Structure 1
Amino acid sequence: MIVDEGPLADVVRELRLVDHHVHGAATADLDAAAFEDGLTESPWPAAPGTSHLDSQVGFAVRRWCAPVLELPPHVDLPAYLARRHELGTAEVTRRFLTASGIGRFLVETGYLPDQVLGPAQMAAVVGGETAEVVRLETVAEEVAAARPDAGRFADAFATALAERARTAVGLKSVIAYRHGLDVDPARPTPLEVLRAAGRWLKAGGRLTDPVLLRHLLWAGVEHGLPLQFHVGYGDPDLTLHRCDPSLLTPFIRAVQVPVMLLHCYPYHRTAAYLAGAFPHVYLDVGLAMNYTGARSRAVLAETLEVAPFGKVLFSSDALGPPELHHLGAVLWRRAVTDVLGGWVADGDWSAADAVRVAEMIGSGNATRVYRL
């Protein structure tokens, strides 16, 4: 059942969302292969004779994004790609970001910054507001690129992070990718950091040392900003069972800054429990909404089983094809309208409560937690 009438639907349709975790839209013209790659978390080819767009997200793009390009829903992929090429990257991006109805993007800038729009560019496209979320591991790797000696690394990182955090609204860690969430929650000692920095700076490469990753987390905590964690679903660079947010429980107990659990699928119920159990834990199901497509309503409903409504935020986690920015908003609006509206229709909720919760999740909670 799709609930599409009444005050809830009207409010949700017009709500200017705050996307509390998002990346920039692609700057390059995407050919068929690049477009397909942008709609999957897998670096491998699709099964023989198929496409990565033979998926929930692929079908959702053809259903909900085609009309924005003045094409019929479910148009075939060649016609869709031809229309994208005809309009050009700038116009396609403008259409989708505008159609999303997202009023503020909190842009995480630590991944592929040379291939996607930055916060200021995103704001220029839609005439909306943006702010930056800084990825801790990227800052550390930029510091390491300057080749400091091990004894100077901690101070150099602290200085660089302080400068970036000065204008940021949040920090982000991908420790789930680099090690896993099953990390010692204790703050490492200066001697441990010194030795770990020596090992890493000598070996080179991306940062995966668990001691230094812990050091980054605790350095981030000092700034008092919301601290985002990738949780659950992602590309095969991670090991999924080590991305269960319950593994973060000892760290959650040790800190007081807002802990923002991102994506969370298939651990969204666990994340919802943590948000209910701890006063400073929040969650979204951003990436999961896009990748579950027609089943996204079920994911949102499961999240709202136990999560306090003041602890759930909207996110698209879009990166690359701007279809994902629009699709994240479309699927969220449909899911919220259907799930909450169904509870109203059943007599379990009042219409006023449904409207209030939709506004909280769509914008109010992020505005409060990030002090926007």
Structure 2
Amino acid sequence: MSLQGIKVVDVHAHPFRESTTPESPVSFLRKLSLSVIPEMFSSLEGIEKHQPYPGSNMWIQILLRQMAAYYSCEEDLTAIVDKRNQKAKDYQAYTKELFQDVNLVGAIMDFGYPQPPINHAEFEGMTGARIWEISRIEPIMVSLAEMNISFDDFISRYRKRLQDDLSDNQVVGLKTIIAYRSGLEVLDMDRQAAEKDYETFVQDNRATAKAFRDYCFHIAMEACTEADKFMHIHTGIGDGEVVMTKASPSFLLDTLRKEKYKDTKVHLVHGGYPWMEEAAFIVSILPNVYMDISLQNPFTGHGVERVISQVLELAPFDKVMYGSDAFTVPEMNWMGVRLFIQCFERVLNDWVEKDYMSVEKAQFIGEMILYRNFEKIYNITV
């Protein structure tokens, strides 16, 4: 059974800017890392042959090895980056080449990162793939708070901005990164407490301001319900700012079970990694909640195989979608697909060998997660 050549839709990634300057080995490693600390990769001097680069992990090792094979060059960082820079002189052609190589035909992108936002049409033209957006609520909250308006005026304008964004055909939903600010233990709406915390948020838009953030979260959920579009919620780890003690998707369960949200379509971004079993349980009991396998793919490297297997221990096959969380260079998007397919094939073929299912059913399940579920869940044909 093989998934090679199957079309792929990535349901969570970020756009990236066209690079106008060649990468150095150090700068390229930095762009491959989830770390936001510049010192993570500072010097490659004194590296012995076959020694892993300081700060690198299995994700980077696998990517460099597969890039060397793709370029037909030595598995050496300098040689790989040199080949890469030659191809990337025409950045658009190189990006399209990588997307086409893995048949990556579409993606839902969070244009909330990087800032200032990248132009949608230009990015779509650079990749050659169809691109849809999710509108991140936090930049909207910040831009309105900077106007120093009253709480009532803020709420009125905030609701209107969400409604306007959701009316755009290119926008498939909203997204929140509340897990980075106050955590996923979202409490009931408390207008009085929210108004008090709003004053704190105006002074410091990175402040916890929990009651205010929770209030805005609920308004976003209501807006998605009314528009019949998806609420994307960052769950699990991310960069170093995430509130780790409140990042598990289990903290969302009480909110998602509320009667007012029984028809709200929710997408658990990153599938709650490393609490993916909890996300898998949630999507197995709540009919309108779905999850993707992004960030853990590709950034756990060889662990992607384990993650896929664990998620599918409990999650229904039709509730899981492919994702990458790629965010800086097209090689991330490319490697996300390659690594996922390689790992998924091993999982599916193991199930076939154990006589859990036929080859044909395993093939169909692979297609479901790579693109069929997206088309059905989002009602979009690619």
The answer to whether TM tops 0.5 is: yes
Residue 317 of structure 1 is matched in structure 2 by 325
Residue 96 of structure 2 is matched in structure 1 by 94
Residues 226 and 259 of structure 1 are in contact (CA less than 8 Å); yes or no, is this contact kept in structure 2? yes
1:244 has 2:248 as partner: yes
Amino acid across the alignment from 1:240: M
Residues 15 and 114 of structure 2 are in contact (CA less than 8 Å); yes or no, is this contact kept in structure 1? no
Residues 352 and 358 of structure 2 are in contact (CA less than 8 Å); yes or no, is this contact kept in structure 1? yes
Q: Secondary structure at the match of 1:38?
A: helix
Structure 1 unaligned blocks of 5 or more: 1-7
Distance 1:34 1:219, change over 3 A: farther
Tell me the alpha carbon deviations over residues 10-32 of structure 1, each in whole angstroms, 9 at most, x when there is no partner: xx212211111111123234443
Distance 1:295 1:240, change over 3 A: same
Query: What does 1:1-372 align with in structure 2 at a 5 Å threshold?
Result: 8-9=1-2, 12-28=3-19, 29=21, 30-44=23-37, 45-46=39-40, 51=53, 54-68=56-70, 70-72=71-73, 75-87=75-87, 88=89, 89-114=91-116, 117-167=118-168, 168-184=171-187, 186-189=188-191, 191-201=192-202, 203-206=203-206, 208-222=208-222, 223-224=224-225, 225-254=229-258, 255-256=261-262, 257-263=264-270, 264-372=272-380
Query: Structure 1 residue 90: deviation in Å?
Result: 3.5
Q: Secondary structure at the match of 2:324?
A: coil
Bigger drift between 356-365 and 145-154 goes to 145-154
Distance 1:99 1:207, change over 3 A: farther
Residues 195 and 212 of structure 2 are in contact (CA less than 8 Å); yes or no, is this contact kept in structure 1? no
- Structure 1 length normalisation: TM-score? 0.89
Distance 1:199 1:109, change over 3 A: same
Query: RMSD of aligned C-alpha atoms?
Result: 2.2
Residue 4 of structure 1 is matched in structure 2 by none
Q: Distance in 1 between matches of 2:232 and 2:207?
A: 18
Q: Distance in 2 between matches of 1:234 and 1:204?
A: 22
Amino acid across the alignment from 1:210: K
Q: Secondary structure at the match of 1:171?
A: strand
* Number of residues of Structure 1 aligned to a counterpart in Structure 2: 357
Q: Distance in 2 between matches of 1:210 and 1:52?
A: 38
Structure 2 unaligned blocks of 5 or more: 45-51
Distance 1:276 1:113, change over 3 A: same
Q: Secondary structure at the match of 1:93?
A: helix
Query: Structure 1 residue 176: deviation in Å?
Result: 0.7
Q: Secondary structure at the match of 2:175?
A: strand
Q: Secondary structure at the match of 2:321?
A: coil
Residues 181 and 243 of structure 1 are in contact (CA less than 8 Å); yes or no, is this contact kept in structure 2? yes
Q: Secondary structure at the match of 2:257?
A: helix
Query: Structure 1 residue 277: deviation in Å?
Result: 1.8
Q: Distance in 1 between matches of 2:125 and 2:174?
A: 23
Query: Structure 1 residue 121: deviation in Å?
Result: 2.6
Q: Distance in 2 between matches of 1:66 and 1:148?
A: 55
Amino acid across the alignment from 1:46: M
Query: Structure 1 residue 361: deviation in Å?
Result: 0.9
Residues 296 and 335 of structure 1 are in contact (CA less than 8 Å); yes or no, is this contact kept in structure 2? yes
Q: Secondary structure at the match of 2:133?
A: strand
Q: Distance in 1 between matches of 2:93 and 2:355?
A: 44
What is the identity percentage for the equivalent residue pairs of Structure 1 and Structure 2? 24
Amino acid across the alignment from 1:133: I
Amino acid across the alignment from 1:78: T
